[in-house]
Chains A and B, each alone.
Chain A
Amino acid sequence: MSQSRETTSAQPVLEVRNLQTVFPTRDGLIRAVDDVSFTVEQGKTLGIIGESGSGKSVTARSILRVVDRPGRVVGGSVKLFGRDLLTLSEREMREIRGRDIGMIFQDPGASLNPVRKVGTQIVETYMTHRKASKNEARERALESLAIAGIPNPTEVFDLYPVDLSSGAKQRVMIAMAIVCRPALLIADEPTTMLGVRTQRHILESLLKVQEELAMAMILITHDFGVVSWMADEIMVMYGGRVVEHAPKFEILRRPRHHYTAGLIRSVPLIEERREKRLKSIPGFPPDLLNLPTGCIFHPRCEAADGLCQSVRPELGVAPEDPRHRYACHHPVQEAVLDELKLTG
Chain B
Amino acid sequence: MSGRPESLASVVDASAPASHVAIEASSDKTAGRKQSRDWGLIISGAMVAIVALITIAGPWIVPHDPNYIDSRSRLMPPVWMDGGSWDHPLGTDGVGRDLLARIVVAFRTSLLIAIAGVLLAVSIGVVIGIVSGFLGGIADTVLMAITDIQLSFPFVVLAVSLLSLTRPRPSVLIVVLSLAAWPMYARVVRSVAQQERGADYIIAARAIGVPQWRILGYYVGRNIVPPVFIVASIDIATLIVLESLLSFLGLGVQPPTASWGNIIAESKNYLSSSWWVPTLPGVAIVFTVLSFNLLGDSLHRYIDPRSAR
Interface residues of A (CB under 8 A from B): 23, 25-27, 30, 32, 52-55, 57-58, 68-71, 110, 285, 287-289
Q: How far is it, in angstroms, between the C-alpha of A23 and the C-alpha of B24 when the chains are bound? A: 12
Q: What's the dominant secondary structure at chain A's contact region?
A: loop
Name 13 extra pairs, CB < 8 A, besides A53-B25, A68-B23, A71-B23: A23-B26, A25-B26, A25-B30, A26-B36, A27-B29, A27-B33, A32-B23, A32-B25, A52-B25, A53-B24, A53-B26, A57-B24, A287-B29
What B residues does A53 contact at CB under 8 A? 23-26
What A residues does B29 contact at CB under 8 A? 25, 27, 30, 287-289
State the Cβ distance, A7 to closest chain B Cβ, in Å: 39
What B residues does A30 contact at CB under 8 A? 23, 25-26, 29
What 1/0 flags go to B1-37 for Cβ under 8 Å of A?
0000000000000000001001111100110010010
* Contact between chains at A58 and B33 (CB < 8 Å): no
What B residues does A23 contact at CB under 8 A? 22-23, 26
Interface core residue of B23, B24, B33 (most chain A CB under 10 Å): B23
What A residues does B26 contact at CB under 8 A? 23, 25, 30, 32, 53, 288-289
Q: What's the dominant secondary structure at chain B's contact region?
A: loop
What B residues does A68 contact at CB under 8 A? 22-23
Which residues of B, 86-130, contact A by the 8 Å Cβ criterion? none
**Closest 10 pairs (CB-CB, A-B):** A53-B25, A52-B24, A288-B25, A53-B24, A68-B22, A32-B23, A30-B26, A58-B23, A26-B33, A289-B29
Q: How far is it, in angstroms, between the C-alpha of A27 and the C-alpha of B22 when the chains are bound? A: 14
What B residues does A110 contact at CB under 8 A? 19
What A residues does B24 contact at CB under 8 A? 52-53, 57
Q: How far is it, in angstroms, between the C-alpha of A29 and the C-alpha of B30 when the chains are bound? A: 12
Closest to A290 in B: B29
Q: How far is it, in angstroms, between the C-alpha of A297 and the C-alpha of B25 when the chains are bound? A: 16
Closest to B27 in A: A53
Q: How far is it, in angstroms, between the C-alpha of A287 and the C-alpha of B25 when the chains are bound? A: 8
Q: How far is it, in angstroms, between the C-alpha of A150 and the C-alpha of B95 when the chains are bound? A: 83
What B residues does A58 contact at CB under 8 A? 23
State the Cβ distance, A137 to closest chain B Cβ, in Å: 29
Closest to A26 in B: B33
Question: Contact check: which of B19, B33, B36 meets A25 at CB < 8 Å?
Answer: B33
Interface core residue of A26, A55, A70 (most chain B CB under 10 Å): A26
Q: How far is it, in angstroms, between the C-alpha of A289 and the C-alpha of B23 when the chains are bound? A: 13
What B residues does A26 contact at CB under 8 A? 30, 33, 36
Decide: A70 near B22, CB < 8 A? Known: A25-B30, A27-B29: yes
Closest to B35 in A: A26
Closest to A33 in B: B23
Q: How far is it, in angstroms, between the C-alpha of A52 and the C-alpha of B28 when the chains are bound? A: 12
Which residues of B, 215-252, contact A by the 8 Å Cβ criterion? none
